[in-house]
């Protein structure tokens, strides 16, 4: 009887050992002094790293089941790190046609997705950290010395952050469930069937959302623009556009916009077309609405709303 029990235990242990080996790693390296490390614990995880160039480094750590990680580095001196804990997570770090970029993805939870892409430049840094379930993040740079840092804590959050240009910063922090943010520095438009990129330089976009079902949008083209959206509560909406809708280059420069919302169901919009504008909107309470439109140069606006159901509209121009 003891031999039978021992044999059964051995049999099931072997099955468990074999099952734990269902992880897959595929690595391809072309060039010199490249380093790749993959550590996987769990079932049916897949890791892929492709490095073409010199002095690149890739690290992939996965603990759980059915996770997917892909690192694709085409250039020199890139560093990519992917760490996933949980089940059904997917992460892609792509770096190409440049050098010395750093990408870091950390996901804890289940069914999260992160995509990072950096290219055609040098010295970019992209960091995505997601904790919870069913979060989505796209974090990308096209240029040099850009910073993108995305942190999402909760469930069902979505973040889109992209920079076309040099020395821009995007900082996104979302805490809660169902929050959405979109930040675009520089734009990729089409003209006559051909892509045209209007770049952004030395601009800063900062989004902080704490609560549920909040929405934030920032768009910047030109130089030295600064936009801040800070939302505390539920179902708030805020947008900032620092972009010229007239002219050829679509650039607005040296503008500053700050939106601060504390409450629920508030709406705030700022549109700055031109240069040297300043706008501040502060909303405390529920269901407040504020709209600011600034065209031309050197306008200043401040709106403060305390209470519920207030409405304010400001239009400033040089005409």
The pair of three-digit structure tokens given for residue 45, joined into one six-digit string:
């995880």
How far apart CA 224 and CA 209 sit, in angstroms, is 24
Give CA–CA dist 218/242, Å, rounded: 8
| Residue 99 within any structural domain of the chain | yes
The CB density around residue 43, as the number of other CB atoms within 10 Å, is 15
**Pairing relation of β-strands 158-166 and 136-144?**
parallel
- 280 falls within a domain: yes
Domain of residue 138 covers: 26-316
Q: Does 288 fall in a domain?
A: yes
Total domains in the fold of the chain? 1
Lowest average pLDDT, out of 77-81, 97-101, 235-239, goes to 97-101
Contact status, residue 89 vs residue 67, Cβ threshold 8 Å: yes
pTM for the full model?
Answer: 0.91
Q: What would the pLDDT profile of 146-194 be if each residue is shown by its tens digit?
A: 999 999 999 999 999 999 999 999 999 999 999 999 999 997 655 444 4
Residue 311 lies inside a defined structural domain of this protein: yes
Q: Which DSSP state fits 12?
A: H
Residue 319, pLDDT score: 77
Q: For residue 51, is it within any domain?
A: yes
pLDDT of residue 21: 57
DSSP summary character for residue 310? -
14 assigned to some structural domain: no
- Where is 5: in which H helix or E strand? helix 2-19
Sorting pLDDT into bands at 50, 70 and 90, what band is 143?
very high
Q: Model confidence at 197, in pLDDT bands (50, 70, 90)? A: low
Q: Which two tokens stand for residue 123?
A: 């010295």
Domain-located, residue 204: yes
Band of residue 249 on the pLDDT scale cut at 50, 70, 90 = low
Residue 17 resides in a domain: no
Beta-ladder partners of 65: 43, 87
Other residues' Cβ atoms within 10 Å of the Cβ of residue 17: 9
């Amino acid at each position: 009887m003891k031999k039978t029990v021992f044999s059964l235990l051995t049999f099931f242990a072997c099955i468990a050992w074999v099952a734990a080996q269902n992880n897959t790693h595929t690595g391809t390296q072309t060039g010199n002094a490249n380093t790749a490390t993959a550590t996987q614990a769990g079932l049916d995880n897949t890791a892929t790293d492709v490095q073409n160039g010199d002095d690149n480094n890739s690290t992939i750590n996965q603990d759980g089941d059915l996770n997917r990680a892909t690192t694709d580095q085409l250039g020199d001196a890139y560093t990519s790190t992917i760490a996933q804990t949980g089940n059904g997570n997917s992460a892609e770090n792509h770096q190409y046609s440049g050098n010395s970029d750093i990408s870091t993805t950390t996901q804890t939870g289940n069914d999260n997705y992160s995509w990072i892409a950096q290219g055609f430049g040098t010295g970019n840094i992209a960091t995505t950290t997601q904790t919870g379930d069913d979060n989505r993040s796209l974090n990308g740079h096209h240029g040099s010395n850009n910073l993108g840092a995305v942190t999402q804590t909760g469930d069902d959050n979505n973040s889109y952050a992209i920079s076309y240009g040099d020395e821009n910063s995007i900082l996104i922090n979302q805490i809660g469930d169902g929050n959405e943010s979109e930040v675009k520095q520089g734009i990729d438009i089409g003209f006559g069937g051909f892509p045209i990129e209007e770049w952004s330089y030395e601009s800063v976009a900062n989004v902080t959302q704490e609560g549920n079902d909040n929405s934030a949008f920032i768009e910047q083209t030109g130089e030295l623009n600064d936009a801040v959206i800070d939302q505390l509560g539920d179902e708030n909406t805020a947008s900032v556009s620092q972009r010229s809708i007239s002219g050829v280059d679509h650039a607005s420069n040296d503008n500053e916009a700050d939106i601060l919302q504390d409450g629920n169901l508030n709406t705030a919009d700022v549109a700055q077309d031109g240069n040297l504008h300043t706008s501040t909107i502060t909303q405390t309470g529920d269901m407040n609405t504020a709209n600011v439109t600034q065209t031309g140069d050197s306008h200043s606006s401040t709106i403060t709303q305390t209470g519920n159901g207030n409405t304010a509209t400001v239009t400033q121009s040089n005409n």
